[in-house]
Every structure is written in structure tokens, then in C-alpha cells.
Chain A
Amino acid sequence: MKKDKYAFWKSSVVQSILASLLCIIIGLLIGYIVLLFINPSGAWGGITTILKNFFTYPSHQASLKYFGSTLVKTAPLLMCALSIQFSYKVGLFNIGAAGQYVAGAGACLFAALAWHWPWYACLLLAMLAGAIFGALSGFLKAYCNVNEVISGIMLNWIGLYAVNMLLTNVKESASPYTQNVASFNSSALMPTLGLDKLFSSNKYVTIAVPLSILIAILIWVILSKTKLGYELRATGFNKDAARYCGMKEKKNIILTLIIGGALAGIGAAFLYLSGYEQWECTQSSVPAMGFNGIAATFLGGLDPIGTIFSSYFIQHITSGGAYLDKTMYSSQISDLISSIIIYLCGFVLFFKYYMTNRINRREERAQAKAKAAAENVSDSQEGGEQ
């Protein structure tokens, strides 16, 4: 049997990876051009700094340590991305992941600081808080036909100010930040299980990192292997058909957003229970984690496993941006560059579509050529016989 030489390029996985890489390259290019405009002399150095991230540290020890820090922030991003992805597979656009994340942050910090709960209890409460926020959107969608994007955005703000208000009770008296979890209630910190040793004693590297990867795999398994995944995806693809064959469409919508919310809530716990950051009780914008999750989801080709890598990449350049030379570029520039790349990540599906078309057309042409060649040969043979 003749092997299809286009089979490799036609595979969906290969196309997703290529499309994602293409987005990254174009994003970097535009970022580079922006840097050129602002200050040409530092542009090349700037873009490499962003890409290098922790490698900018000359010492192996230090770079390993900051690699750990990037991972610490990758875990919550991955959870938010999974939250959005899970909902997306069921046909829901969970932009409320940001608010569910905020709810999770508020819940775990309050439990840790006000009630002195241990980390696992705080984690569960964060999960619950996220799930409740998700459920709110879900109920509104299922029973009042309120678009989940609208209710999600509203809940993002409600969540932000509610959490600011709640956490003001446990903030440091001299600053707008919440108490340091490490010094106030160290039992609320997630255990490191020796992982910190691997990253030059970076104490923020906890089991959150491997857990987030495990959860990504779990989500993949649920979606592709189980009855629940079968039902949820059927509902996402075609809710009329799902209803026709007796699936509980409303229940599925609510359940999806509950799971999505729980994932985002866990994400918040992964960050705040590592002690890496404190909540700023006066912040007036919803943390970007939930929104970056959207980019990570699409860059990851809407696949839980791909999302592990895309989440890491996005966090990598976001962290890398912090090392930009502040004397040449204003401090916002790093956010701008990573935003451009993240923005470009949204085009993955478009590139994938474009690639499929190109390959099909090329294959068609190649086949036509092969056919024509074969005909020529047979023609000349016939001629020879006469």
C-alpha cells in the first residue's frame, strides 16, 4: 500500500502544534517591531530577555530557582486554562473563570488567615467557592437563558469587590496586602514534598505544580474516555441532539460550569497557598490570570495536554518581561509584549484552518500531476506497441 505522504501534515496534532508555533513567532516579531519603535538600540536585547526569562541569571543555581518561580505561576494559569477549555468543549465560553479564580483566592486566603485552616481544607473551600460562582452562571444560562459571557463578566466584578471587602479583614495594618500566609499560618501552605530542593530551595515550589499537570491529564481522560465526557461534548456540539437522545441538557450546562469554576478556584489556591503572592485588597482590576487562561487554551490547541505546554510558555514570557531593561523601556512594556503574543495566540484556529486548506489543495495538485504522468507513460507504451 502506498503511504500517504501528507498523512503526517494532515494529522490534527501536528497542525495544532505548527499553528501554535506560527502564532508565537509572529507574536514575537510584532513585539520586536514595537520595541524597535520605542528604542531601537535595546530591541534585540529586549526580545531575547523576554524569551530567556530565568536564563538571564548567569548562575545555574539562580536560574533554576527562577525556573521554579515560573512554574509556581504556571500552575494557576494552567488551571484557569483548563477551566475555560472544559467549558468550551461543552459549548460554553467561560469568561467568568477570572471571577471564579478571584472567588477561590478570597475563600482560601480567608480560611487560611481568619480561621487558620490547614491547606487541604483551604484548597477545598477555594474549589467550592469557584464552583458556586460557576454554578451561578450555569443556573442563569440553563434556566433564564442568560448568556454565560455576560453573567461571567458581571460576576468577575462582583467577585473582585466582594473579595477585596472580605480580605480587608485579614490584611496587614500598614499595607493593602493580606497577611503573609507563611508567617501567619504556615499549616495553610501547600507541602513541597522536597520539590523545593530540586529548584535551589525555591520554597514556593509545592505539590501544586505536579498536581496541576495531573489535573490536566484527568480532564483529558474525563473528556475523551468517560460517559460524562461523551454526554458533555455531545451537549456542546449539538444541544438539540443531546436533548433528543434524553440527555439532561440543563443539568449538563450547570455541571460544566461548576466543574469549570472549581478548576479556576483550585488555580487560585495553588498560587495563594504557595505563599508566592499576597492579595492586594485595593486592586481595582480583575487579575489577568483568568483572561490569560483563554489565550493558553487556544494556544494549546484546545487540548488539555497541549495546554500544559502553552500555559508554561505564556507564563514564561510574562515572567521574562519583568527582566526587561527598565532604563530603556517603561515597566508596562513587558506586559505589552506578552499581551501581543497572547493576542496572536487567539489566531491558532485560523492558522490551522488555513493550513488544512493549503495541504488539501497541494495534495489535489500533486495527485493530478501523478495521474497525468501515469497517463503519459501508458500513452507512450500503447504507441510503442502499435
Chain B
Amino acid sequence: MDSPYAIEMLGITKKFPGIIANDDITLQLKKGEIHALLGENGAGKSTLMSVLFGLYQAEAGVIKKDGEVVSISDPNAANALGIGMVHQHFKLVECFTVLDNIIMGVEPCKGGFLQKKEARDKVVALSEKYGLMVDPDALVRDITVGMQQRTEILKMLYRENEILIFDEPTAVLTPQEIDELMQIMRNLSAEGKSILFISHKLNEIMSVADRCTVLRKGKCIGTVSIADTTKEELSRMMVGRDVELVVHKDPREPGDVILNVENMTVASKMHKNNAVKNVSFNVRSGEIVCIAGIDGNGQTELVYGLTGLEPLADGSISLCGQDITHASIRNRSVMGMSHIPEDRHKHGLVLDYSLEYNLVLQRYFEPQFVAKNGFLKKKAIRDYAVKLIDQYDVRSGQGPVTIARSMSGGNQQKAIVAREIDKDPQLLVAVQPTRGLDVGAIEYIHKQLVAQRDAGRAVLLVSLELEEVMSVPDRILVMYEGEIVGELDPKKTTVEELGLYMAGAKREAAEQ
């Protein structure tokens, strides 16, 4: 009678017009285990979880809870069964306190009045029990992303959910926060909670999960025990071929200085101090320089200053020997600066435009795409888009006329990369170009960056991923609190040393 499984999804099939999102997938979550669900973007992870959460109804298959068949018709039914989910994009009310957010929807009331004291005690007790340190009275907008995530976890615990789904929870976290989250997940499973951990980061799965189910193109490839597998095997299962986890690049002597930044200072929008303080560095042709650091140490503002999205408070920038300190964004772009932005939805794409219109976003004004009378040359745009789609293998439902919003994240990013690289830039600024992408797409983008370097371009990479920082660049500059605190050679340094610089525990004496 007593089933070893908390949740079983047996033979789940879910179809959408033109695509089978889930094809006969079986996933069995044991009680008290951490079960990873691995797959590339578009492999069907989200669909499967939506079926479990009652957002979609499967055409075939059954869901069992504790061995008994249940029907989950909507998210409320899922909640009633004790299934809770931390979404990738948090569902929190920013101007409410942590406590208010946690009790929202299940507020304890007496005669129409909130009983906050009671709720507060419960939340404090829960956060102590599971090591989820967060101030219940802080406003959500004032706390860090990591704390917001803990608030989401507390929300599930407050509702006494037994089955916790984490949808790509580490995508937004810093390395330290990721470690803390891993520990929290271990605590939760030790207390008997069953966890489904959706991810495509192999390191995290290897470090925290007990078992792993791999999906590829809507099919279930298999479930393996983490103890008996390797990263390489998992990535092969996920992608369907061998993936190079190591970036190959030949040694190359850098050439002339392409980008030179002197004493750059950028004011912060968040606080009164400067976000970037008196930073100087250069990038030469034929090298990849990486700005490493924990998120929020001025990297974003540095890039904004560099690309012209924010004015400099002080200092100067030159590109190929020409001063561009006060040049407009358009001028910088025309002079040979390409920018793969940090946030592809906010800056990188006009999501409601077609793919072809997005592919000419940086060059629609060139004579090849617009006639003298102001009319767009639609044929030229279409031909160019088809060429890029072909050359960079950008996949989409309807080719050049696909609306960008409907494309998968990986292909959206590929489209941006194609657009920015095909401009034939002198300097390519790539900000977290692989964020949220799967292994296959990451490999692809890394290869593109190295190809740019080999073609004699200068590449400035901004990254938060330690693995990327160690493998892709030729030089690492570490940023801490708006300053460059060290320059490292990735071949000679270690992750530990890098971590010390990133945490501000170590710094080089100022050069020159």
C-alpha cells in the first residue's frame, strides 16, 4: 500500500499543434530525494512541470500521488496535493514585506482581521528549521535575489507542501548563493521533502541530486543515479552527442590595442556612490578579456558606460585610437563596437518584431536595407535574414517571419549573436552571453567568441559563471565593488584564487 514514490508521472504525453512536447514520459519522484530533471531548452521540461502543476492537461498518461491516481485539473488542485513550485521568475509583490508575501492567499484571519503575529512566528520557526535566513519584515524590493528566492521557498513551506519543484533556481544567483541554495535543498530533503530540481547545469546536478531524469526533444532518455554517472554521460544523454565541455583555443599573440579605457567612473542608479570607480584597462586585437566578479559589482554599469547607454561621470574611452567618450550609441556601433547585451529581452530584441526585423536592428539604416526615399528594402532584409539564419543555425517555427517572442531562449540568443558578429566588429562586448542557455548553445557561443578572437577581433566578455571565466578568456580582470582588483591569467590561476578576488578578500596593488 505504501508507495516509495511521492509523485509518479507515468507515460505522460502532451501535444501542441505541430509538436509533441512530451512523448510518453515517465518520471518517478521518491520520497525525500532530490530528483533532477535535465534537458536542453525546448526539451519539454516546462511542459512536463506544467502538466504536474495542472496548467496543462496531458492527452495520455496518469499521475499518481503516494501510489494513488490523482487528477490535477488546475494549480489549486496541485496545491491541495502539496505540490509547490519556485518559478524561475519569482512571483512576489515587490512593495510587500517578506511576511506579507509568504502568507498571501492563505492569510490567517480572525473575524476579518489578519493574525500576523501567529503567521510571523510560524515563518520564523520555519526559516530557522531549514536555515533559510531572511528578515520577515523587510520589503521584497530591498532584499537580494537570493533572499527573494528564499521567500519563495518559505512560501511553499508555509503551505506545508511536501513536493517542491525548483524551476532553474540558480539562473539568477551568484556562486555563493548557489552554494547556499544547494545546502538548503539538502536540508529540505533531509527533513523528508521531495524535491524536483529542473536545471541544465551539470555541476549543480552532480553536486546535489540523488537521481536524474533526462529529456531530449520531448522524449524521456532515461533516469540515472547520480552516483553511477558522470557529467560527460549526462551531457551526452541531454544533447544526443558528445559535447566539448572544454573550450579549445590555440595560443595567440594579441595585437594592437583596440579598446582603451582610462579612469572610467560611472554613477550608480541604485545608490549615491559610483558603481564604477576609476577603472582603466585595455583589450587588444586577437584576445578575449573577461571581466569576472559577483553580480552587482559594477559590471553592468561598466558595460553601459562602454556602450553609451549611460554617460561617464569621469574618464575616457577610445576605440581603435579614436576617442569615443562622448560618442552616441549609434556612432559607437558604426565605428565597430558590437554589444551582446546582458538582458536579451530588455535590450537585445524587439520581441514583437519578426526575426528578420530583429536581425537588422543594428543596420536597418544602412543603404543596403533602406532606399533613399525612406522605404525599407524588404527583399534585401529577407535575403540577409535568410543568410544569417542559415549561417548561424538560428531555429524558429516560421523562419524569418517568426515573431521573436515565440522563439526559444537559445535561439533568441543565437539571433543576437549572429546579428552582432555579422556586423564584423572591431570589438565585441559580450555580457553573460550564455546565461540561461543549455550546454549545446553554450558550446556554440563559446566557439563563436573564440572564432572572433582568432579572426583578430577584440572580445570583452563579462561573465558570472566561474567555469566560463576559467575556460574562455586569455586574461581575467576581476571586479569588486566597482574596481578592478586583479588581473589573472586563466592558465595560471585557480578557481579558489579567483574566488578570493571576487569576494574582495584579496587584491593586487594598483598597477603602474
Chain A residues in the interface with B (C-beta under 8 A): 225-228, 230-231, 233-234, 237-238, 240-247, 360, 363-364, 367-368, 371
Q: Is A227 within 8 A of B341, CB to CB?
A: no
Q: Is A226 within 8 A of B376, CB to CB?
A: yes
Q: Is B375 within 8 A of A237, CB to CB?
A: no
Q: Is B376 within 8 A of A241, CB to CB?
A: no
**B352 CB-CB contact with A under 8 Å:** yes
Q: Is A230 within 8 A of B351, CB to CB?
A: no
Chain A nearest Cβ from B73, distance in angstroms: 15
Q: Is A367 within 8 A of B17, CB to CB?
A: yes
Binds A, one of B37-45, B94-102, B362-370, B473-481: B362-370
Name the residue on B nearest A4 (C-beta): B17
Binds A, one of B196-204, B205-213, B328-336, B437-445: B328-336
**B499 CB-CB contact with A under 8 Å:** no
Chain B nearest Cβ from A11, distance in angstroms: 14
Chain B nearest Cβ from A219, distance in angstroms: 14
| Given A245-B333, A368-B59, residue A230 in contact with residue B339 (CB < 8 A) | no
Chain B CB count within 10 A is highest, among A233, A237, A367, for A237
**B16 CB-CB contact with A under 8 Å:** yes
Chain B CB count within 10 A is highest, among A226, A240, A246, for A246
* Cα–Cα, bound, A371→B328 (Å): 57
Q: Is A228 within 8 A of B353, CB to CB?
A: no
CB contacts (< 8 Å) of A360 on chain B: these are: 17
Name the residue on B nearest A372 (C-beta): B59
Contact with A241, one of B16, B361, B374 (Cβ below 8 angstroms): B361
* Cα–Cα, bound, A227→B349 (Å): 17
CB contacts (< 8 Å) of B374 on chain A: these are: 226-228
Q: Is A244 within 8 A of B376, CB to CB?
A: no
* Cα–Cα, bound, A243→B348 (Å): 10
CB contacts (< 8 Å) of A240 on chain B: these are: 346-347
19 further A-B pairs in the complex, CB-CB below 8 A; given A243-B347, A244-B347: A225-B378, A226-B375, A227-B364, A227-B370, A234-B350, A234-B361, A238-B349, A238-B350, A238-B352, A241-B346, A241-B348, A244-B341, A245-B330, A246-B329, A246-B332, A363-B17, A364-B15, A367-B15, A368-B15
Name the residue on B nearest A229 (C-beta): B376
Q: Is A230 within 8 A of B357, CB to CB?
A: yes
Q: Is A246 within 8 A of B364, CB to CB?
A: no
A-B contact pairs, 20 of them (CB 8 A): A225-B376, A227-B364, A227-B365, A230-B364, A230-B376, A233-B353, A237-B351, A238-B350, A238-B352, A240-B347, A241-B347, A241-B350, A241-B361, A242-B350, A243-B309, A245-B333, A245-B361, A247-B330, A360-B17, A371-B15
Name the residue on B nearest A228 (C-beta): B374
Chain B, range 274-332, C-beta contacts under 8 Å to A: 307, 309, 328-332
* Cα–Cα, bound, A246→B364 (Å): 11
CB contacts (< 8 Å) of A238 on chain B: these are: 346, 349-352
CB contacts (< 8 Å) of A243 on chain B: these are: 309, 329, 347
Chain B nearest Cβ from A123, distance in angstroms: 24
* Cα–Cα, bound, A367→B357 (Å): 32
* Cα–Cα, bound, A149→B353 (Å): 26
CB contacts (< 8 Å) of B331 on chain A: these are: 246
The list of the 10 closest CB pairs from A to B, nearest first, reads A246-B330, A244-B347, A246-B329, A237-B352, A227-B370, A226-B374, A245-B361, A238-B350, A237-B350, A240-B346
Chain A nearest Cβ from B388, distance in angstroms: 16
Q: Is B376 within 8 A of A364, CB to CB?
A: no
Q: Is A234 within 8 A of B375, CB to CB?
A: no
Chain B, range 12-68, C-beta contacts under 8 Å to A: 15-17, 59
CB contacts (< 8 Å) of B361 on chain A: these are: 234, 241, 245
CB contacts (< 8 Å) of A231 on chain B: these are: 364
Name the residue on B nearest A222 (C-beta): B374
Size range of the chain B interface in the assembly: 20 to 34
* Cα–Cα, bound, A194→B258 (Å): 69
CB contacts (< 8 Å) of A226 on chain B: these are: 374-376
Chain A nearest Cβ from B402, distance in angstroms: 15
* Cα–Cα, bound, A246→B352 (Å): 18
Q: Is B353 within 8 A of A234, CB to CB?
A: yes
* Cα–Cα, bound, A145→B351 (Å): 24
Name the residue on A nearest B374 (C-beta): A226
* Cα–Cα, bound, A228→B329 (Å): 18
Name the residue on B nearest A363 (C-beta): B17
CB contacts (< 8 Å) of A241 on chain B: these are: 346-350, 361
* Cα–Cα, bound, A238→B309 (Å): 15
CB contacts (< 8 Å) of B339 on chain A: these are: 244
Name the residue on B nearest A245 (C-beta): B361
Contact with A364, one of B17, B328, B348, B375 (Cβ below 8 angstroms): B17
Chain B nearest Cβ from A249, distance in angstroms: 10
Chain A nearest Cβ from B8, distance in angstroms: 23
Contact with B328, one of A242, A246, A363 (Cβ below 8 angstroms): A246
* Cα–Cα, bound, A368→B370 (Å): 46
Chain B, range 406-433, C-beta contacts under 8 Å to A: none
Chain A nearest Cβ from B239, distance in angstroms: 29
Contact with B16, one of A242, A245, A364 (Cβ below 8 angstroms): A364
* Cα–Cα, bound, A160→B353 (Å): 39
Chain B CB count within 10 A is highest, among A231, A234, A241, A247, for A241
* Cα–Cα, bound, A368→B376 (Å): 42
Name the residue on B nearest A247 (C-beta): B330
Q: Is A246 within 8 A of B333, CB to CB?
A: yes
CB contacts (< 8 Å) of B309 on chain A: these are: 243-244
CB contacts (< 8 Å) of A246 on chain B: these are: 328-333, 362
Chain B nearest Cβ from A368, distance in angstroms: 6
Chain A nearest Cβ from B353, distance in angstroms: 6
Chain B nearest Cβ from A243, distance in angstroms: 7
Name the residue on A nearest B307 (C-beta): A244
Q: Is B375 within 8 A of A225, CB to CB?
A: yes
Name the residue on A nearest B357 (C-beta): A230
* Cα–Cα, bound, A244→B17 (Å): 35
Name the residue on A nearest B370 (C-beta): A227
Name the residue on A nearest B333 (C-beta): A246
Chain B nearest Cβ from A273, distance in angstroms: 29
* Cα–Cα, bound, A269→B357 (Å): 37
CB contacts (< 8 Å) of B346 on chain A: these are: 238, 240-241
* Cα–Cα, bound, A244→B332 (Å): 11
* Cα–Cα, bound, A367→B20 (Å): 12
Name the residue on B nearest A366 (C-beta): B17
Name the residue on A nearest B362 (C-beta): A245
Name the residue on B nearest A244 (C-beta): B347
CB contacts (< 8 Å) of A225 on chain B: these are: 375-376, 378
Name the residue on B nearest A231 (C-beta): B364
Contact with B376, one of A227, A245, A247, A363 (Cβ below 8 angstroms): A227
Chain A nearest Cβ from B89, distance in angstroms: 17
CB contacts (< 8 Å) of B357 on chain A: these are: 230, 234
Chain B CB count within 10 A is highest, among A225, A238, A244, A364, for A244
Chain B nearest Cβ from A10, distance in angstroms: 10
Name the residue on B nearest A221 (C-beta): B375
CB contacts (< 8 Å) of A247 on chain B: these are: 330
Contact pattern, B 373-406, Cβ under 8 Å of A = 1, otherwise 0: 0111010000000000000000000000000000
Chain B nearest Cβ from A244, distance in angstroms: 4
CB contacts (< 8 Å) of B378 on chain A: these are: 225
Name the residue on A nearest B352 (C-beta): A237
* Cα–Cα, bound, A246→B333 (Å): 8
CB contacts (< 8 Å) of B348 on chain A: these are: 241, 244
Chain A nearest Cβ from B332, distance in angstroms: 8
CB contacts (< 8 Å) of B332 on chain A: these are: 246
* Cα–Cα, bound, A240→B347 (Å): 5
CB contacts (< 8 Å) of A367 on chain B: these are: 15, 17
